[in-house]
Amino acid sequence: MKDISKLEEILKVNFKHPELLKQALTHRSYLNEHPSLKMEHNERLEFLGDAVLELIVTENLYENYPNNPEGEMTNWRAALVNAKMLSEIGKELELDDFLFLSRGEAKDKNQKARGYIIANAMEAVIGAIYLDLGWDTAKKFIIKNILVKLPDILKHKLYIDAKSRFQEMAQDKVGVTPSYQVISESGPDHNKKFIIGVYLEEELVAKGEGTSKQEAQMDAAEKGLVKKNW
């Protein structure tokens, strides 16, 4: 059995009701496999935590950046609370080691799917902290673990999506507007897989994949930024 108290030490949060933290880490698939357990999965806590996170981040941006327009702060907030960022923070906090998953989910090597599970658990943990210990503790946790990422986001313009950033850098560095071409397309209509290349004139910079052309282009742009060290 996983020792939740070890996670409390990592999170630096002492729950009055540790069962709430356990619920926050419990994926629906685990309860499907253990129907006799008298507990809920984490989706309701995730719903609550999502709202708490968004409001605390919004309040912080509103108070600390009085001269920045709403549209800009909206982009900053999106960069802080999106699934990719929450998944990265969840991994830093070792949430993955404490998740209650079905045997099938636990063995699944799909990093993207696991990333979403960790991001959802991160929101659920915030919901559990808020429910158990209140607004101030939730706020302290979010400032310490999530809002701390804002300076890096602003420094590297991570609030601009990868395609826009790659285009901006390509035009600035080499005077070329990137283009995207489908390299391959496979799978049935309901489960397509696209591989798309991002090019600077004739140069294939990187390949991206996704279940839609847009997702594959974004993946290619992200890999292109890394490849070019932009």
Q: Look up residue 26 and give its DSSP letter.
A: B
How many other β-carbons are positioned within 10 Å of the β-carbon of residue 220? 31
Structure tokens of 118? 């960790």
What distances in angstroms separate CA 104 from CA 29, 52, 108, one per listed residue? 9, 31, 6
Question: What is the distance, to the nearest Å, from the Cα of residue 171 to the centroid of all Cα atoms in its chain?
Answer: 29
Instruction: Give catalytic residues, as residue numbers.
Output: 50, 123
The secondary structure element, H or E, covering residue 13 is none
> How far apart are the C-alpha atoms of 77 and 160, rounded to whole Å?
11
Rounded to 10 deg, the angle between the 83-92 and 111-133 helix axes is 80
